[in-house]
Amino acid sequence: MIPSVFAPVSSNKEIGNRGKAGMSGLTGGAEKHAHGRKKHYSRKKHGSATMHNWLWPAIGILVFAEVFLLGGHAVRWMITSPRFVLGEVKVVGHQILSPETLVQFAGLKPGENIFEVDLEKIRRRIDSNPWVRRSSVRKSPPNTLRIEIEERKPIALINKENGVAVDPEGVILGLLPSKYVGCLPVLGGFSEKGARPGDRIVNSNFGIAMIAASLYSGASLERGKCLKVSPAKNGYLKIRIMEGKAELLVGREKLEAQAARFHAVAMRIFKGKILSGSPMLLDLTFPGRIIVRQANKNGGLEG
């Protein structure tokens, strides 16, 4: 007879509880293991970030130091190399002034390195010449300096004997260069005492005299001679033409109308000839009329 073996029999509920407990243990172990790995990974990542924090700045410092050293060598080479010694000065825009005069004003020195040239200082020196209205200076490596100028244009003389010229803005330019070709009107009464080249005429009558000179210059009867504008009595202007053989008396108002009236009849009055004898006076101060008489007589109207 086979003895019976009895083993404790667990209920389904107990079995389920033990299974849950086992799974819970496994899960806890897995989580613990995973947490350990996570910590390990985090420590590695922190170490890598620290390395990045100091590595790239160190590389940047090394690169900057190398560039700085190379730059210093380059600057030293440019300053000392004969290749960059100033060898040519190009002057553009001059008509009256000579390039030699402008170079002298610039104060440039032979053998000067082009990179050591002070452009602003040179420009100020050139602009100090009364004939220069404005200028610009720039470098053109390896050894050329370019100077561009705008000259002031002489439009009249304020001292015929010495040939002192003035521009449309009233700036006194100084002596007219001997190579200048052309005839400039003479403005009398504007040689201000003590005035120097570069000074500006501030006389309010200067502009009116300039307008009068421009309106009566270039007439065919001028015969290539320059006219002269001077102040006259009662605020009038006296304009001498034809080498002093004729004088015009004009008012300060309606200058254009008076000039048009004169040009319309001038050739008929003078018949295209240079007058001889006493100067002739043409009075244009009367509206619509020209009174013609001998300049040394008080009457004797001839037209």
Cis geometry, peptide bond prior to residue 142 (ω within 30 degrees of 0):
yes
The number of beta carbons lying within 10 Å of the beta carbon of residue 174 is 18
The number of beta carbons lying within 10 Å of the beta carbon of residue 237 is 26
Lowest mean pLDDT among 22-36, 107-121, 125-139, 266-280: 22-36
- Condensed to tens digits (0 to 9), the pLDDT of residues 173-221 reads 998 887 777 788 999 888 767 788 999 998 888 899 999 998 987 654 5
Instruction: Answer whether residue 131 shows pLDDT above 70.
Output: yes
pLDDT at res. 299: 43
pLDDT at res. 42: 47
In the chain the domains, ranked by start, together with CATH numbers, are: 83-151 (3.10.20.310), 156-294 (3.40.50)
CA distances from 61 to 57, 58, 68, 222 (A): 6, 5, 10, 80
pLDDT at res. 250: 95
- Condensed to tens digits (0 to 9), the pLDDT of residues 8-39 reads 444 444 444 444 444 444 444 444 444 444 44
- The secondary structure of 118-186 as a DSSP string is -HHHHHHHHHTSTTEEEEEEEEETTTEEEEEEEEPPP-EEEETTTTEEE-TT-BEEEEPPTT--S---E
Under the banding of pLDDT at 50, 70 and 90, the label for residue 294 is confident
Q: Which residue has the higher pLDDT, 85 or 60?
A: 85
Q: Rounded to whole angstroms, how far apart are CA atoms 211 and 110?
A: 47
